[in-house]
């Protein structure tokens, strides 16, 4: 039996499920440290029978050994390709290692990843770079999504993998694929780690409660490298994804998160980009310019608006009933929209102007002819047929409450009669579904709040705060005891002295 056979025996015998909770943290740290000191040659050599370790290890049980062997194979193949000046790369999507990487990202043990987070992070970066180098960014999207959801099925803990994932989705324009990751929302941002066996115990407890992966803490490369800029970029990219899906309300929320980021009276360019899209999305959602949220830093808001002045001009032009001014402003700022990658959004604003202009007419008029509506809102006031078709589409979609009736003057087209606004009624089944949905959302929110409260109670900051309170309470009690002792001994207190002084006054 060779030394590599002995190594394989050690790797294959690694079974975290057989380790007691008290020894879990120590044993996994020891295993990760031991494997990190082995050379690439030992890890890629395989057994004396010529079998590769990757074909013999179980990625679910032996996650840590499997990842080290996989990483060694990747690095070894990369060096080999460089030394031979070969154009072929075993990391290509058709290469031998790619399939093993995909299997690992679907089957790894989430709890073990905490101990090899740097290697795991490196693996995600490798598949991202490989996919982009092959000009197929979409190839990295599904593997990264699988990794995120395996670490945290609720996708509620923000990691650097989230940032990479949404960026890849934007590059590949695969907006629908991003929904399972970005839709649940972010409830936790990793911070100080837990220690000892509490890592595993708390992890298993939270699994029972439906919350996975609390082990993504501030000291891990996967969970702890999300700085403030990446945080803002993540929500900016999420907002852009929702824009691509035309989910305006969710897009507006994500962009507002960026704008509300605490700042020392200064604005970053990420916030400027978020404001530009937020302003346009507000027009698409509400049909009018929106006021900035109160949580936005006011000096920063002034700086943002100074830079984004062309967009404020569009907001002002949108208020005009006639579309000619908006057309002129859009044409004048074409270079700005192209440079900001907002041309498509500007085009949506152009189409929305006409819709909201028609919807606003019902606030003033009870009925108008097609020709009158066309003269106020249509790009071509003489094309009554197109205007009538557009009005019909708004009515059929439920966006406009109105009817079309023949006119006494055929040259003016049919008469559009606006109906009074009615309270939307829902069936009993729809109401029950809505209640069940909101109840589930509230339960999820409360669950995450309880998790945060628990982690706050065991944090060092909270314990230090309790120590300070106890010390202060002790000092107050000691002071009261001193005052009581002084009073019993017949000595005058400050209050007695004040009474004596008052008594001597004429």
Q: What per-residue confidence (pLDDT) applies to 250?
A: 94
State the CB neighbour count (10 A cutoff) for residue 56.
15
Q: What per-residue confidence (pLDDT) applies to 104?
A: 93
pLDDT(272) > 90: yes
Q: What per-residue confidence (pLDDT) applies to 182?
A: 93
- Residue 367 host element (H or E): strand 367-369
Q: What per-residue confidence (pLDDT) applies to 452?
A: 63
pLDDT band at 14 (very low <50, low <70, confident <90, very high): confident
Most confident of 18-32, 161-175, 192-206, 416-430: 161-175
pLDDT band at 283 (very low <50, low <70, confident <90, very high): very high
pLDDT(383) > 90: no
- Cα(80)–Cα(125) distance, integer angstroms: 20
329-368 pLDDT, tens digit each: 999 999 999 999 999 999 999 999 989 988 888 888 888 8
User: Comparing 104-113, 443-452, 472-481, 485-494, which segment has the lowest mean pLDDT?
Assistant: 485-494
Taking CA atoms, 70 is separated from 52, 76, 99, 315, 447, in Å, by: 10, 10, 11, 54, 37
- Cα(477)–Cα(471) distance, integer angstroms: 10
Residues 412, 369 contacting (CB under 8 angstroms)? yes
Using N-to-C axis directions, what is the helix angle for 309-318 and 269-286, rounded to 10°?
A: 10
pLDDT band at 426 (very low <50, low <70, confident <90, very high): low
Q: What per-residue confidence (pLDDT) applies to 165?
A: 94
pLDDT band at 4 (very low <50, low <70, confident <90, very high): low
CA 371 centroid distance within chain: 47
Pairing of strands 402-405, 415-418: antiparallel
Contacts of 174 (CB under 8 A, 6+ apart): 138, 141
pLDDT(172) > 80: yes
pLDDT(475) > 80: no
Q: What per-residue confidence (pLDDT) applies to 290?
A: 93
pLDDT(10) > 90: no
Q: What per-residue confidence (pLDDT) applies to 487?
A: 60
Beta bridge partners of 28: none
pLDDT(143) > 70: yes
- Cα(217)–Cα(191) distance, integer angstroms: 5
- Cα(101)–Cα(88) distance, integer angstroms: 18
pLDDT band at 478 (very low <50, low <70, confident <90, very high): confident
pLDDT(203) > 70: no
Q: What per-residue confidence (pLDDT) applies to 41?
A: 80
pLDDT band at 490 (very low <50, low <70, confident <90, very high): low
pLDDT(258) > 80: yes
Q: What per-residue confidence (pLDDT) applies to 163?
A: 92
- Cα(333)–Cα(279) distance, integer angstroms: 15
State the CB neighbour count (10 A cutoff) for residue 131.
23
- The whole-model pTM stands at 0.77
Mean pLDDT of the chain: 81
Q: What per-residue confidence (pLDDT) applies to 52?
A: 78
Residues 328, 379 contacting (CB under 8 angstroms)? no
What does the pLDDT average to over 43-69?
A: 83
pLDDT band at 217 (very low <50, low <70, confident <90, very high): very low
pLDDT band at 198 (very low <50, low <70, confident <90, very high): very low
User: Is 203 or 450 the better-scoring residue by pLDDT?
Assistant: 450
Beta bridge partners of 367: 417
pLDDT band at 424 (very low <50, low <70, confident <90, very high): low
Most confident of 15-19, 50-54, 331-335, 398-402: 331-335
């Amino acid at each position: 039996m060779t030394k590599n056979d002995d190594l394989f025996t050690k790797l294959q015998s690694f079974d975290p499920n057989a380790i007691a909770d008290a020894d879990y943290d120590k044993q996994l740290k020891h295993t990760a440290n031991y494997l990190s000191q082995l050379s690439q040659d030992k890890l890629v050599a395989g057994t004396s029978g010529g079998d590769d370790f990757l074909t013999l290890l179980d990625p679910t049980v032996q996650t840590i050994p499997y990842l080290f062997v996989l990483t060694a194979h990747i690095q070894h193949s990369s060096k080999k390709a460089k030394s031979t000046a070969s154009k072929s790369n075993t990391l290509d999507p058709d290469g031998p290692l790619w399939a093993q990487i995909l299997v690992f990202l679907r089957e790894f043990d989430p709890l073990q990843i905490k101990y090899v987070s740097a290697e795991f992070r490196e693996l995600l970066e490798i598949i991202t770079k490989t996919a982009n180098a092959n000009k197929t960014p979409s190839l990295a999207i599904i593997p990264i999504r699988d990794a995120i959801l395996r670490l945290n099925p609720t996708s509620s803990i923000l990691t650097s993998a989230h940032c990479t994932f949404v960026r890849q989705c934007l590059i590949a324009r695969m907006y629908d694929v991003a929904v399972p990751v970005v839709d649940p929302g972010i409830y936790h941002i990793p911070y100080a780690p837990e220690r000892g066996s509490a890592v595993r115990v708390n992890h298993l407890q939270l699994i029972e409660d439906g919350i996975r992966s609390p082990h993504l803490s501030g000291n891990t490369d996967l969970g702890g490298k999300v700085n403030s800029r990446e945080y803002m970029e993540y929500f900016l990219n999420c907002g852009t994804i929702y824009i691509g899906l035309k989910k305006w309300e969710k897009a507006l929320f994500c962009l507002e998160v960026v704008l509300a980021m605490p700042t020392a009276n200064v604005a970053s360019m990420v916030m400027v980009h978020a404001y530009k899209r937020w302003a346009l999305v507000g027009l698409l959602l509400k049909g009018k310019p929106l006021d900035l949220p109160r949580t936005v830093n006011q000096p920063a808001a002034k700086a943002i608006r100074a830079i984004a002045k062309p967009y404020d001009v569009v907001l002002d032009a949108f208020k005009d009933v006639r579309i000619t001014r908006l057309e002129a402003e859009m044409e004048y700022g074409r270079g700005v929209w192209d440079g900001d990658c907002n041309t498509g959004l500007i085009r949506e604003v152009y189409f929305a102007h006409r819709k909201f202009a028609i919807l606003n007419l019902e606030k003033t008029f009870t009925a108008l002819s097609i020709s009158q509506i066309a003269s106020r809102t249509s790009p071509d006031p003489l094309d009554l047929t197109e205007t009538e078709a557009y009005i019909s589409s708004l009515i059929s979609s439920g966006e406009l409450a109105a009817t079309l009736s023949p006119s006494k003057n055929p040259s003016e087209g049919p008469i559009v009669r606006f109906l009074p606004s009615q309270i939307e009624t829902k069936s009993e089944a729809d109401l029950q579904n809505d209640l069940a949905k909101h109840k589930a959302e509230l339960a999820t929110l409360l669950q995450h709040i309880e998790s945060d409260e628990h982690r706050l109670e065991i944090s060092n900051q909270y314990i230090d705060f309790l120590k300070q309170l106890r010390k202060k309470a002790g000092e107050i009690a000691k002071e009261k005891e001193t005052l009581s002792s002084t009073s019993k001994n017949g000595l005058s207190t400050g209050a007695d002295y004040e009474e004596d002084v008052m008594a001597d006054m004429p």
